[in-house]
Amino acid sequence: MPDQPQPSLPSGSSVAERLAAVRARIAAAADAAGRDPGEVRLLVATKTQPAEAVLEALAAGVDLIGENRVQELVAKAPAVADRVADGSLEVHMIGHLQRNKINQVLATATGLETLDSLDLARAISDRCVRDDRTGDRALDVMVQVNVTGEASKSGVVPADAGALATAVAALPGLRLTGFMTIGARLDDTSEQTVRAGFARLRAVRDEVVASGAPGTAGATALSMGMTGDLHLAVAEGATVVRVGTAVFGPRPTQPAR
Ligand SMILES: *Cc1c(COP(=O)(O)O)cnc(C)c1O
């Protein structure tokens, strides 16, 4: 197997074929970094994809999907409800969440990767506590960090991430599992800059886990890397890569992120 990431397969390929290619890319990147490929989980980003395409991915062994928009999350929830109920599928919200949509997310998602304020965290935790979702049933959350500092991107700045994570970890309705970032775009900058952003997220994670603060010991996940840069993210320690285009082909329109 070549060391270089392989290009995406042509658009005539099936979702299953494309998934196999993505898994091979992840494995090659892990090998190159001296990591166990089993440490890197694939989250399939399903935004703009119809439920049929999502079901194709599930049939090919996908056990973690991510949605950006609450509306789409809710629309596709019935198609995946059985798999969520039997525990064989996790559904993460990976887009920005507005407070007025908290209930809809709690009804359909198993995790939220885009927590970026203590106000939002408290509101979600309160709701979980009212629903008796604490302890093992608490919502899995990641703190989203804006490692590039671009104003257009969501997330807390790295300097504030540790304090937010520690506060979130102490809330009864939430279980802090780690950190997420949308890195710099390879189109706009060098591989070095993209990697530096991912390394920054890892440093935030390491500091929080080392702090010994209550609820932080399990906050080891690093959700970073997408179709274009997953090899760089895996090299910097990603434990979750979020991939859409390489699985489904190009989206008709690129939603704002
Ligand atoms: C769309 C999206 C992805 C996947 O991006 P691709 O380049 O299509 O692989 C990952 N993370 C987030 C937050 C996204 O919105």
State which of 94, 116, 181, 229 you would mutate to test the pocket of ligand 1, scoring each by most atoms of that ligand within 8 A of its C-beta. 94
- Any atom of ligand 1 within 6 Å of the Cβ of 47: yes
Q: Where are the domains of the chain?
A: 15-248
Q: How confident is the model at residue 103 (pLDDT cuts 50, 70, 90)?
A: very high
Question: Which CATH number, 3.80.10.10, 3.40.47.10, 3.40.50.880, 3.20.20.10, labels domain 15-248?
Answer: 3.20.20.10
Verify whether ligand 1 is closer than 6 Å to residue 245 (CB atom): yes
> What pLDDT band is residue 8 in, cutting at 50, 70 and 90?
low
Question: Contact 231/29 with Cβ under 8 angstroms?
Answer: yes
Rg (alpha carbons) of the chain, rounded to whole number: 17
Beta carbons of 69 and 255 less than 8 angstroms apart: yes
Spatial distance between the Cα atoms of 90 and 107, rounded to a whole number of angstroms: 13
Q: Is 223 helix (H, G, I), strand (E, B) or coil?
A: strand
pLDDT value of residue 151: 77
Helices (H), the chain: 15-32, 51-59, 70-85, 102-108, 118-130, 158-169, 191-211, 230-235, 245-248
3-class SS at 105? helix
- Cβ–ligand 1 distance for 189 under 6 Å, the answer no
pLDDT at 6 over 60: no
Quote the CA–CA distance of 59 and 170 in Å, as a whole number: 37
Residue of 226, 232, 234 with the most ligand 1 atoms within 8 Å of its CB, for mutation: 226
Mean pLDDT to the nearest integer, 193-217: 97
> 218-257 pLDDT, tens per residue?
999 999 999 999 999 999 999 999 999 999 999 876 555 4
- Residues in Cβ contact with 146 at an 8 Å cutoff, skipping those fewer than 6 apart: 153, 154, 155, 156, 157, 158, 181
Average pLDDT score over the chain: 93
Pocket perturbation via mutation, ligand 1, pick of 73, 242, 254 by most ligand atoms within 8 A of CB: 242
pLDDT at residue 88 greater than cutoff 60? yes
The predicted pLDDT at position 142 comes to: 98
Confidence category of residue 121, pLDDT binned at 50, 70, 90:
very high
Q: Does 70 have pLDDT greater than 50? A: yes
Predicted pLDDT at 1: 40
Using the mean position of ligand 1's atoms as its centre, give its distance from the Cα of residue 172 in Å: 30
Atom of ligand 1 nearest to the CA of 257: 15
Above pLDDT 70, what percent of the chain?
93
